[in-house]
């Protein structure tokens, strides 16, 4: 519980460099800059499961506080005009819940309110471990997911993703990796709509200490790299 409180405090101060609302009217560079911002936001705000491929089972439940840090590879120089702040990383805290269902199917969802910004984000996933895995066999799963941005008056952005992942448990440790695609639709009344696809690679590890659970995931979607850390309970 102390660890959860520490992480909660960290989420509240994790966005030190970004203040105020995002104002696309101040964006310099026209449509090309809007595309760069959209690509980085699509990478940062797309779904990141931070879970192994193996199914949790019908009684399984995972709840955690999570934070994702994304290096804004393309748009970092543009954010001063957007918000009045210079920064190169976006931090997105989340409350993340995953529940096991029959037939090796899991569902998951998260909600996020990014501190000191007007960014609100929610997302969901449906994952099926079509290879269940076991003592000698790794689990393999396919996942479909979506996210939706809200709170930014001048920007509508949503993502859809499809990926395949593999994992194999070793006592308390379960490493995993996967590959997929992310489809982003970004629109604004100030710019032409941008719709594009970005490749996705990810790898991570889940460490379970009974009820307490720690997971870390590294993701590269398009040009942007993200690191996610989740602390919570998994059983």
Q: Among 114, 112, 193, 117, which residue's Cα sits nearest to residue 155?
A: 193
Query: Per-residue pLDDT for 51 more than 60?
Result: yes
CA-to-CA separations, 153 to 24, 39, 42, 110, in angstroms, rounded: 9, 18, 17, 21
* Mean pLDDT rounded to a whole number for the chain: 89
What percentage of the chain carries pLDDT values higher than 70? 89
Q: What is the pLDDT of residues 63-95, one digit of tens each?
A: 999 999 999 888 888 887 777 666 778 899 999
pLDDT in tens, 174-233: 999 999 999 999 999 999 999 999 999 999 999 999 889 999 999 999 999 999 999 999
Considering only residues 168 and 76, tell me which one the structure prediction assigns the higher pLDDT. Answer: 168
The predicted-structure confidence for 103-143, as pLDDT tens digits, reads as follows: 999 999 999 998 777 789 999 999 999 999 888 899 999 99
pTM of the model: 0.89
- Residue 139 pairs in a beta bridge with 167
Contacts of 47 (CB under 8 A, 6+ apart): 123, 124, 125, 145, 146, 147, 159, 161
Please tell me the distance from the alpha carbon of residue 127 to that of residue 100, in angstroms, as a whole number: 10
CATH topology of domain 2-234: Lipocalin (2.40.128)
């Amino acid at each position: 519980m102390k660890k959860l409180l520490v992480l909660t405090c960290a989420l509240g101060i994790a966005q030190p460099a970004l203040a105020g609302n995002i104002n696309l009217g101040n964006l310099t560079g026209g449509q090309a800059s809007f595309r760069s911002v959209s690509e980085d936001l699509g990478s940062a705000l797309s779904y990141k499961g931070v879970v192994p491929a193996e199914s949790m089972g019908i009684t399984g439940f995972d709840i955690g506080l999570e934070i994702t840090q994304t290096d804004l590879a393309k748009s970092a120089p543009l954010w001063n005009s957007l918000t009045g702040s210079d920064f190169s990383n976006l931090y997105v805290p989340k409350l993340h819940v995953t529940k096991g269902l029959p037939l090796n199917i899991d569902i998951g969802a998260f909600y996020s309110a990014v501190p000191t910004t007007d960014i609100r984000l929610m997302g969901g996933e449906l994952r099926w471990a079509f290879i269940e895995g076991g003592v000698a066999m790794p689990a393999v799963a396919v996942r479909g997911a979506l996210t939706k941005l809200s709170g930014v008056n001048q920007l509508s952005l949503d993502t859809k993703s499809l990926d395949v992942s593999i994992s194999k448990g070793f006592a308390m440790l379960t490493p995993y990796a996967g590959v997929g695609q992310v489809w982003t639709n970004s629109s604004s009344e100030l710019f032409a709509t941008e719709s594009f696809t970005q490749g996705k690679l990810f790898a991570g590890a889940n460490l379970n200490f009974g009820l307490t659970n720690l997971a870390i995931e590294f993701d590269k979607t398009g040009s942007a790299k993200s690191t996610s850390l989740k602390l919570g309970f998994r059983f």
